[in-house]
Amino acid sequence: MKRQFISLFLFAIVFGSETHGQKLCSTPDSFVGECVERIKCSIFNLGHRRSSKYMTFLENSKCENSDLVCCREKYIQQSTAQIQQSDDVSRQASSNDDTKLNLRNCGLINQDRISRGNQTFLGELPFMVRLEYRKADGSKQFKCGGSLVTPRYVLTAAHCISDGLFSVRLGEHTVDMDPDCKYSPSGRRRCAPPVKDCNIEEKIKHSEFSLQKKINDIALIRLSEPVQLNNIDYVNTICLPLDNDSTLKEDEDQLLVAGWGRDESLQTTKSLMKALIPRQQIQKCQESFSLTDITNTNAICAGGKDQVDTCSGDSGGPLFYKGKLYSGARYIQYGITAAGFIHCGSLWKGETLPALYTNVVNYVEWIKSNMH
């Protein structure tokens, strides 16, 4: 049965949200911004001559039914308190970036690049990684995914850890295309930096992982050297739910998955894909997988609706959604793809079977204690 993808109108979701207490908006030059007082937007305080072009841009920047203007985040001037907080975080991060979770720029939502469907835009999800394996005959293949959580560590599933795993690829978007380049509707060419293949120093699998019981399916990969996050548009870390504000809310009923998984014909997709999937009661996964050891504490059950799920190629990849962190909207990882079914859209009692995800919030302390 063909797998049907949900068209994800994430653009509309983002524009319906609020950040810093202000509404999000679209600038005249089609960037995402926030409605702020004009004095707080540096682009309007640069001593421009009041040309007709400037005045037209200013007029078109005004937010609907208010005196506020639509300002891109990078032009919004921070208060003294915000600047102090940012400096404190930066100083703390710089002293131990390799193992510090939730760096200041983690999980940034590249709102200029949010696609409306399943195929992601170049640079939309810069925390996604691919795991490369060496087979017995010496050939290489990518089988699992993961997420960059610090410049030195990748989070993935324990069942993805094996002797053959030897490398982590960062910055991938379209397979077999390096560098990745895209063209805008106007014909302008934009290219990402070349992919980066990182050697592995250490593989850390949860000591109580059970493939049969589908529990504790979590692992860390320590890279041989830290990744330089000097171009976070294409390689960046994702945030983790480290406090109550960033944990998954009980009423959150939809989540995102992404990866280079398999399509309805069981062929690996060439480009990074994403899908919005429904969260399910844990009982549905308990019944589907005939498991008794998975609970709401250690697992998340999701998918199983409209034949949208994660396929085998997405093992180890993140289950995530936008949440609140640093007073703004960030992508936060709530789960790790642990178990699904080989055939996408498999049916059970007439319904599409869900997939099982390791509940990251239950393992935050394990993650912290295994970084060094």
If DSSP codes are grouped into helix, strand and coil, which group holds residue 323?
strand
Q: Is 137 exposed, middle or buried (0-12, 13-18, 19+ CB in 10 A)?
A: exposed
Per-residue tokens: 129 = 């990684």
Q: Which of 147, 173, 180, 217 is catalytic?
A: 217
Per-residue tokens: 351 = 């319904």
Give the CA distances from residue 26 to residues 23, 35, 167, 310, 366, in Å, rounded to whole numbers and listed in that order: 10, 9, 40, 32, 41
Instruction: Provide the CA 280 distance to its chain's centre, in angstroms.
Output: 20
Amino acid identity at 337: T
If DSSP codes are grouped into helix, strand and coil, which group holds residue 49?
coil
Contact 109, 125 (CB under 8 A): no
Q: Which of 61, 147, 159, 309 is catalytic?
A: 159
Per-residue tokens: 331 = 């992508």
Q: How many Cβ atoms are within 10 Å of 91's Cβ, its own excluded?
A: 9
Give the CA distances from residue 281 to residues 44, 207, 322, 337, 355, in Å, rounded to whole numbers and listed in that order: 50, 27, 21, 16, 12
159 is catalytic: yes
State the Cα–Cα distance between residues 213 and 283, nearest whole angstrom. 15
Contact 23, 285 (CB under 8 A): no
Query: Nearest CA to 260 among 113, 341, 145, 159?
Result: 145
Per-residue tokens: 321 = 């959604």
The answer for residues whose C-beta is within 8 angstroms of residue 209's C-beta and 6 or more apart is 158, 159, 215, 216, 217, 218, 219
What contacts 24+ positions apart, CB below 8 Å, involve 136-140?
A: none
If DSSP codes are grouped into helix, strand and coil, which group holds residue 268?
strand
Amino acid identity at 316: G
Per-residue tokens: 22 = 């202000």
Amino acid identity at 300: I
Q: Which of 61, 147, 288, 315 is catalytic?
A: 315
Q: Which residues are catalytic?
A: 159, 217, 315
